[in-house]
A and B are shown apart, each in its own frame.
Chain A
Amino acid sequence: MAQRTIHVDALARVEGEGALYLKVQDDKVLEVRVDIYEPPRFFEGFLRGRRYEEVPDLTARICGICPVAYQMSSARALEKALGVTPSPAVRSLRHLLYCAEWIESHVLHMYLLQAPDLTGHESALELAQDVPEAVQRGLRMKRIGNTILTLLGGRSVHPVNPTVGGFYRWPDPQAIRALVPDLEWGLEAALETMRWAAGLDFPDLEVDYEFVALHREDEYAILNGTIRSSRAGDLAEEDFEKRYLEYHVPHSNALHSRTVEGRHYIVGPLARFNLNFAQLHPLARQAAEAAGIVPPVRNPYKALLARAAETIHAYAVALEIARVWMPRGPSRAAVTPRSGEGAAATEAPRGLLYHRYRLDAGGLVEEARIVPPTAQNLARMEDDLRLLAPHVLTLPLEEATLRCEHLVRAYDPCISCATHFLTLHVERV
């Protein structure tokens, strides 16, 4: 078989900068690498010496698409270190805020980043010319998410209101009530999105994943939970580092992850959908069942369907909160700086996001540890590409390239996060 190089210099329609390298001999894949050349930014380094209140503002800048996730994980970890318990009204508002981010991020990915692959378009701009009503629906759904983020947070990218202990200021409950009509529209649009997505043509690929996600018995875990794996027992959030390890590979500015047993695992909507299906809002569960999508779902491309289900869930939960939320007590718990260590995980749109901080007596950071979801998925992404490669090597070059890119895009990687994007090189020997 002739030698072949698939070279995608920079992967489009992902967040951040990465490259993919495939080395094949005849039809055997010798090597697969996802090269992360997004530059290292050293957050865990320069957070040392910063005061605890600054951490949510600074870590938000790890990612423009999921800043709330960083603010929530960091705030919760610091609250544990400082012995602070946020009030129920704070928790409820954080839940609404996080739902809004899931909506904004999932809709961005489904409509703008992945859908064009499934429909055969170069981008959502071309997709919008063919099916304008679908893309308009997506844009309006996303805008509602951004409206909530702006109301609760001050702005949708790098909100200013969330802080350790709660919020600087309560939003006006009347303004939250006023969101209800948009949320009702959004819920219907999310249900329509599931119907539309279920009709798309997904490539075949079945993978035997180890799924990892936060779990709660009483709700679809997002702000806290135990760390559940489909292959191992539950862990408390603070024991995350005992089982889930990071290691540094030469071709990546993002650390890779594996379990202590050496296995690669997956976090994110697919993991959550498979582990926590029973906890999805009934409307989301029913819509999934009606579309014939129930666990186990082991096709990475079908993470889009998990996202569609989660978008219904997020709209339904946001609607329930928005209908009744009232401020109660101070908007943020009183904090007395003290030395301590705290670790917490929350579910970012792309998966489990773990933070740990150690503070000195003055409340300054002595040590910071941040494990983003995309970094945890990178090793599994390479494994999936290794599984896919034999099926695409016989295709024309352009088609094979697109198929590999599509698989990476289906993961919705957030590469700026993973480094504290995609060139496909296929070398045939």
Chain B
Amino acid sequence: MMAAKPKIAVYKFSSCDGCQLALLNLEEELLTLAGRVEIAYFLEATRRVMPGPYDLALVEGAVTTPEEVRRIQEVREQAQVVVALGTCACAGGVQALRNFADADALAAQVYPHPEYLDYLAKATPMAEHIAVDYEVWGCPVNGAQVAQVLAALLLGKQPILPDYSVCLECKRRGNACVLVAEGALCLGPVTRAGCGAICPAYGRGCYGCFGPWPAGQPQAYLQAVRGLAAPDEVRRAFRHIAGNAPAFAQAAEEV
């Protein structure tokens, strides 16, 4: 599927840089990977830039400004395969929380001269602007998962990403279910697996940062947690890191 030494580009849009750092945190694996690919563009790591086209583009961050709308088109044109890296790229991420308020009002709260700024009305996922080949959710992404995706693509295989909910990871990890045992509001039953069920392992409910599990049942979940927490709290739980993903956004409306 790919050239002998594929050219890889890593981009950052509106985000915290945490997903790129998850890549850099692969440490020795990163050096090994660097030996198998041509890192053609990765500003966080290197000044050296090779021109496109690229075999693979990893893109972190949401699209939130007119300039970014332009840039993401260029990314798509230059790359054979585009991977949306992280919940910002897949769903808009934390900055999409501004979508639930009026962006202009928010700007005025933060900046003395909001007229100096240039931003879209909403923070948007990549897929609203370009065709995305693969999505790797997470806030941040699970570095090991990204390494596995890269390895698969380099071998010309389809990456295998978990298609079950966090609950299964909790069981694997031996966590007591915090929803049942402690009445903690945990989004695990409706959240995509990938993190390894970290939050319940540390005694708190999942806050859904890996995004909605596609086969999840938010309506059934809402019924199940009725009485566990006040409606406002349930709404805030869904309107969190992945709150702009359609399944979560809808669930928040239906509380």
Closest to B45 in A: A123
The residue from B17, B47, B202, B240 contacting A54, defined by CB atoms under 8 A apart: B240
Q: Is B67 an interface residue (CB 8 A)?
A: yes
Chain B residues numbered 227-253 whose CB sits less than 8 Å from any CB in chain A = 233, 236, 240-241
- Give the tally of cross-chain contacts (CB within 8 A): 176
Q: A142 CA to B91 CA in the complex, in Å?
A: 30
Asked if residues B43 and A421 are in contact (CB atoms below 8 Å), the reply is yes
The residue from B14, B49, B111, B204 contacting A160, defined by CB atoms under 8 A apart: B204
Asked if residues A39 and B241 are in contact (CB atoms below 8 Å), the reply is no
Closest to B108 in A: A45
Q: Could you say which residues of chain A place their CB within 8 Å of the CB of B64?
A: 39, 41
Q: A169 CA to B200 CA in the complex, in Å?
A: 10
Q: A12 CA to B139 CA in the complex, in Å?
A: 23
Q: Could you say which residues of chain A place their CB within 8 Å of the CB of B45?
A: 12-13, 112, 123-125
The residue from A17, A45, A253 contacting B105, defined by CB atoms under 8 A apart: A45
Asked if residues B204 and A17 are in contact (CB atoms below 8 Å), the reply is no
Q: Could you say which residues of chain A place their CB within 8 Å of the CB of B233?
A: 51
The residue from B46, B93, B236 contacting A50, defined by CB atoms under 8 A apart: B236
Q: A149 CA to B75 CA in the complex, in Å?
A: 34
Asked if residues A45 and B110 are in contact (CB atoms below 8 Å), the reply is yes
Chain B residues numbered 43-60 whose CB sits less than 8 Å from any CB in chain A = 43-49
Q: A279 CA to B116 CA in the complex, in Å?
A: 43
Q: Could you say which residues of chain B place their CB within 8 Å of the CB of A158?
A: 18, 139-140, 209
Given A64-B140, A65-B21, are A125 and B46 neighbors across the interface (CB < 8 Å)?
yes
Q: Could you say which residues of chain A place their CB within 8 Å of the CB of B98?
A: 41-42, 45-46
Chain B residues numbered 74-118 whose CB sits less than 8 Å from any CB in chain A = 93-95, 97-98, 100-101, 103, 105-107, 109-113, 116-117
Asked if residues B47 and A40 are in contact (CB atoms below 8 Å), the reply is no
Asked if residues A42 and B110 are in contact (CB atoms below 8 Å), the reply is yes
Chain A residues numbered 61-112 whose CB sits less than 8 Å from any CB in chain B = 61-65, 67, 108, 112
Asked if residues B236 and A40 are in contact (CB atoms below 8 Å), the reply is no
Main secondary structure, interface of A, reads loop
Closest to A10 in B: B43
Chain B residues numbered 202-221 whose CB sits less than 8 Å from any CB in chain A = 202-204, 207, 209
Q: Could you say which residues of chain A place their CB within 8 Å of the CB of B113?
A: 248, 250
Q: Could you say which residues of chain A place their CB within 8 Å of the CB of B201?
A: 154
The residue from B31, B202, B241 contacting A154, defined by CB atoms under 8 A apart: B202
Considering the complex of A and B, which 8 residue pairs feature the smallest CB-CB distances, nearest first? A64-B18, A45-B106, A123-B46, A169-B203, A12-B47, A46-B97, A64-B17, A122-B48
Given A44-B110, A168-B202, A421-B43, 19 more A-B residue pairs with CB atoms under 8 Å apart are: A39-B14, A39-B68, A45-B110, A46-B100, A64-B17, A123-B46, A125-B34, A135-B31, A156-B25, A157-B18, A157-B140, A160-B198, A167-B202, A248-B112, A249-B116, A250-B116, A253-B117, A255-B111, A416-B15
Q: Which residues on A are within 8 Å of B, measured CB to CB?
A: 10-13, 15-17, 37-46, 48, 50-51, 54, 57-58, 61-65, 67, 108, 112, 116, 122-126, 128, 135-136, 139-140, 142-143, 146, 154-158, 160-161, 163, 167-169, 247-250, 253, 255, 405, 416, 420-421
